[in-house]
């Protein structure tokens, strides 16, 4: 089979976008040039890699297999380039990091500190939900992920780098704001704003009330921490959030944490990547930096509350 790296690179772009036009734009080529290379690749493998349905294209079974291998080959070539650059003593390379939306409250500070130390390493950041993070790990399309509980049905390496305390929040004028030792039974009488199904915070909430033999009084469901915080401030219900997401609200006294039994729920933030993945020099530098420098991004307001 006579297949070139160039053909695999072009195919990977088309398969990722499911569009010849977008792949051509990304690679700064004409669409006919991309189409010709894909036809030559199909001739080499002896099978169609895409099928058309109207104006849309999708991968065939053979195309899906070639896509997985082309991604792996591209990743290995990138790693090879970074290793060779490191042997030259060059402090450079690329690093693609994805973080949970809640992590993004402190991730920019962490990445800024890393960039100051390694200014020639190009960083790319994706902020997304847990479901997408797990998919990125499954596809091995990401260098590292910063998230809550690592997926259990996927072989990954995971290391704790920071505590993630979950607290109950309320507006300052709430009837429970001045009480101490609030019981789980009393909390269950209040409506709670909920994150979407699959959210790590929601899972922790449900586990807490289940262990107490109580049902959550579910209020509105919201997909972002900012919406939860604004809903709590508006009096729509209580919320359970990561302490790292409310630093500003605690400083400005727009929200308060409740003295509730069993809180804070102590969880952790993890640095996660696929098991067996060979970390590039920038990846190793980032791992060491995160595990050793996380305290530099923790606001004293958070430390005082824990």
* pLDDT tens by residue, 137-183: 998 889 999 998 899 889 999 999 988 999 999 999 999 999 999 99
Q: Let me know if residue 81 belongs to a domain.
A: no
Q: Are residues 110 and 157 in the same domain?
A: yes
Q: Are residues 176 and 227 in the same domain?
A: yes
Q: Are residues 260 and 273 in the same domain?
A: no
Q: Are residues 105 and 142 in the same domain?
A: yes
CA distance 100 to 72: 24
Q: Are residues 169 and 231 in the same domain?
A: yes
Q: Let me know if residue 83 belongs to a domain.
A: no
Identify the CA nearest to 143 among candidates 296, 303, 1, 285.
285
Q: Are residues 157 and 112 in the same domain?
A: yes
Strand partners, 7: none
Q: Are residues 168 and 249 in the same domain?
A: yes
Q: Are residues 195 and 121 in the same domain?
A: no
Least confident of 38-42, 108-112, 300-304: 300-304
Q: Let me know if residue 299 belongs to a domain.
A: yes
Q: Let me know if residue 98 belongs to a domain.
A: yes
In this prediction, residue 296 carries a pLDDT of 61
CA distance 12 to 103: 30
Q: What angle do CA 136, 61, 131 make, to 5 degrees?
A: 20
Q: Are residues 192 and 123 in the same domain?
A: no
Over residues 197-245, the pLDDT tens digits come to 877 888 889 999 999 999 999 999 988 888 999 999 999 999 999 998 8
What global pTM score does this model have?
0.65
Q: Cα separations (Å) of 259 from 179, 184, 298?
A: 7, 11, 22
In this prediction, residue 280 carries a pLDDT of 82
Q: Are residues 182 and 211 in the same domain?
A: yes
3-state secondary structure of 114: helix
Over residues 281-302, the pLDDT tens digits come to 888 889 999 988 766 655 544 4
CATH number at residue 150: 3.40.190.10
CATH number at residue 57: 1.10.10.10
In this prediction, residue 298 carries a pLDDT of 55
Number of domains in the chain: 3
Q: Let me know if residue 113 belongs to a domain.
A: yes
Helix ranges restricted to H, the chain: 5-17, 20-27, 31-45, 61-87, 107-117, 130-139, 184-187, 200-211, 225-233, 247-251, 281-293, 300-305
Out of 49, 73, 97, a domain closes at 73
Which residues, other chains included, contact 219 with Cβ-Cβ below 8 Å and sequence gap of 6+?
191, 192, 193, 194, 231, 236, 237
Owning domain of residue 285: 89-162+268-305
Q: Let me know if residue 203 belongs to a domain.
A: yes
Identify the CA nearest to 6 among candidates 16, 22, 29.
29
């Amino acid at each position: 089979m006579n297949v070139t790296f160039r053909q695999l690179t072009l195919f990977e772009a088309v398969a990722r976008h499911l569009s010849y036009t977008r792949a051509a734009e990304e690679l700064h080529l004409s669409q006919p040039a991309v189409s010709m290379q894909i036809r030559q690749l199909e001739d080499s493998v002896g099978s169609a890699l895409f099928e058309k349905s109207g104006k849309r294209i999708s991968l065939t079974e053979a195309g899906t297999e070639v896509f997985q291998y082309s991604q792996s080959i591209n990743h290995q070539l990138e790693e090879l380039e970074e290793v060779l650059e490191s042997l030259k003593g060059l402090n450079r390379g690329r690093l693609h990091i994805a973080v949970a939306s809640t992590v993004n409250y402190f991730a920019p500070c962490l990445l800024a500190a890393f960039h100051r130390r390694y200014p020639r390493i190009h960083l790319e950041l994706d902020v997304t939900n847990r479901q997408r993070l797990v998919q990125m790990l499954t596809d091995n399309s990401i260098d590292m992920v910063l998230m809550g509980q690592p997926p259990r049905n996927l072989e990954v390496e995971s290391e704790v780098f920071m505590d993630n305390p979950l607290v109950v929040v309320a507006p300052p004028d709430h009837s429970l704001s001045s009480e101490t030792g609030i019981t789980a039974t009393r909390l269950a009488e209040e409506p709670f704003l909920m994150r979407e199904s699959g959210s790590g915070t929601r899972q922790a909430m449900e586990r807490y009330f289940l262990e107490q033999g109580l049902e959550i009084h579910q209020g509105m469901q919201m997909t972002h921490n900012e919406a939860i915080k604004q809903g709590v401030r508006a009096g729509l219900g209580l919320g359970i959030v990561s302490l790292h997401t409310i630093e500003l609200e605690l400083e400005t006294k727009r929200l308060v944490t409740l003295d509730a039994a069993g809180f804070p729920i102590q969880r952790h933030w993890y640095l996660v990547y696929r098991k067996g993945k060979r970390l590039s020099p920038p990846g190793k530098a980032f791992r060491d930096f995160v595990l050793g420098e996380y305290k530099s991004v923790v606001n004293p307001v958070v430390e005082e509350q824990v």
